[in-house]
């Protein structure tokens, strides 16, 4: 009887720890909206452009995972986005290009942009004595026409904000930086204008 009671108690503790772990990851609402005009005027593009579905090549990671680390903000098991991280980057890019007056179409544009999220890093850093969040989206971007690759690069969209501003503000800063990295790249612009 004592062995059965011990096994039951051990099993309950194991189940309890799994339940606690799966509930401790915090959901982050991205709610990104590109503000203002784009960093470059693309109204004189040489053709139309559409965005292919972005992929996520992070190995063995849930598509929504931001980090499984404790960032010292009260969620010891990490943070996940309210949608797939690759979708977040794609939607931000589309908004940035629309604000830049690009000739966007839903499908079958003369050119298209394919993206692959290669890594997503979140950490606490010290910026001049201020505890800050730093989030980096590393995304491979390809400009293609049919099956032909015209141009490619890897963007490092890094946002850093004081921890008091929160994760959402830091994500927004990282997405803004990702857009700027592409729309201010002279080599990319030379291919589409």
CATH number, residue 163: 3.40.50.10610
Lowest-pLDDT choice from 35-49, 73-87, 133-147: 73-87
Domain extent, residue 162, equals: 25-192
Q: Is residue 7 part of a domain?
A: no
Q: Is the pLDDT of residue 1 over 60?
A: no
Q: Is residue 15 part of a domain?
A: no
Average pLDDT over residues 166-171: 96
Contact call for residues 66 and 167 (beta carbons, < 8 A): yes
Q: Is residue 136 part of a domain?
A: yes
Q: Is residue 3 part of a domain?
A: no
Q: Is residue 12 part of a domain?
A: no
Q: Is residue 9 part of a domain?
A: no
pTM score, whole prediction: 0.85
Of the candidates 181, 172, 125, the residue with the CA atom closest to the CA atom of residue 153: 181
Q: Is residue 168 part of a domain?
A: yes
Counted domains in the chain: 1
- What pLDDT shows up at residue 51? 97
Cα dihedral 160, 163, 168, 170 in deg (nearest 10): 0
């Amino acid at each position: 009887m004592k062995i059965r009671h011990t096994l039951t108690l051990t099993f309950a503790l194991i189940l309890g720890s799994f339940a606690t772990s799966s509930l401790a990851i915090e959901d982050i609402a991205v709610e990104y909206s590109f503000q203002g005009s784009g960093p470059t005027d693309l109204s004189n593009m040489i053709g139309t452009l559409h965005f292919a579905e972005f992929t996520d090549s992070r190995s063995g990671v849930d598509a929504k995972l931001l980090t499984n680390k404790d960032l010292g903000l009260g969620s010891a098991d990490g943070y996940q986005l309210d949608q797939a991280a690759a979708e977040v980057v794609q939607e931000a890019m589309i908004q940035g290009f629309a604000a830049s007056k690009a000739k966007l179409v839903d499908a079958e544009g003369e050119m298209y942009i394919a993206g692959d999220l290669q890594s997503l890093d979140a950490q606490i850093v010290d910026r001049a004595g201020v505890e800050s969040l730093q989030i980096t989206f590393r995304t491979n971007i390809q400009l293609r026409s049919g099956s032909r690759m015209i141009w490619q690069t890897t963007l490092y969209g890094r946002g850093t904000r004081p921890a008091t501003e929160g994760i959402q503000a830091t994500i927004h800063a990282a997405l803004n930086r990702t857009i700027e990295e592409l729309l201010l790249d002279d080599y990319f612009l030379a291919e589409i204008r």
